[in-house]
Structures are given as C-alpha cells and as structure tokens.
C-alpha cells in the first residue's frame, strides 16, 4: 500500500482529483485491502511532513508536493 499511496500526490499533479486518483488505485488489491483509517492516517501524516519541509525549502517541487499532499489529506478528512 505504501508505494501506491505515494503515487496519489503525483496523480493529483497529473490532473486527477483525489477521488479519481483513489478510484484508479482501487484496481490494485493492496489498495482495496487497506483499511480506510490507515489511508486517512497516511494522507494526514504525509501532508504534514511535506508542509513542514516546504516551510524550510525554496525548492518549487517541495512546495508543489505539499499542496498536492494537502489536497489528498483534505479529501480523506472530508469523506467521513
């Protein structure tokens, strides 16, 4: 599941919505078998990590990754 979850921000970068990214990943059994709470926690922690890193960096890609990760985390939090 970890490798698949790391794809979500990059799929968002590619123009997918968080829902579309997750719908695509649902085709993988490892994704489908993962508990929603685990995905929620991963998305939240990953967004927090990139948010902190973006505050310490001037690299544009780090700021972009913080935005994309944040979009996914908000989607996961709002779907409950």
Domain ranges of the chain: 2-78
User: Cα 77 to chain center, whole Å?
Assistant: 12
- C-alpha 36/C-alpha 32 separation (Å) is 9
Structure tokens at 58: 């001037």
List, for residues 24-71, the tens digit of each pLDDT value.
999 999 999 999 999 999 999 999 999 999 999 999 999 999 999 999
- Specify the pLDDT at position 46: 97
Instruction: Please name the helix (run of DSSP H) or strand (run of DSSP E) that holds residue 25, with its range, or none.
Output: helix 18-25
Residue 80: pLDDT band by 50, 70, 90 thresholds?
A: low
Distances (CA, A) of 2 to 6, 7, 54, 58: 6, 9, 22, 27
- Specify the pLDDT at position 28: 96
């Amino acid at each position: 599941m970890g490798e698949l979850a790391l794809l979500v921000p990059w799929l968002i970068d590619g123009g997918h919505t968080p829902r579309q990214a997750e719908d695509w990943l649902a085709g993988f059994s490892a994704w489908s078998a993962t508990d929603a709470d685990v995905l929620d926690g991963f998305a939240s922690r990953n967004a927090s990590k990139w948010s902190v890193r973006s505050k310490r960096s001037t690299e544009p890609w780090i700021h972009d990754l913080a935005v994309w990760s944040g979009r996914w985390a908000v989607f996961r939090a709002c779907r409950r």
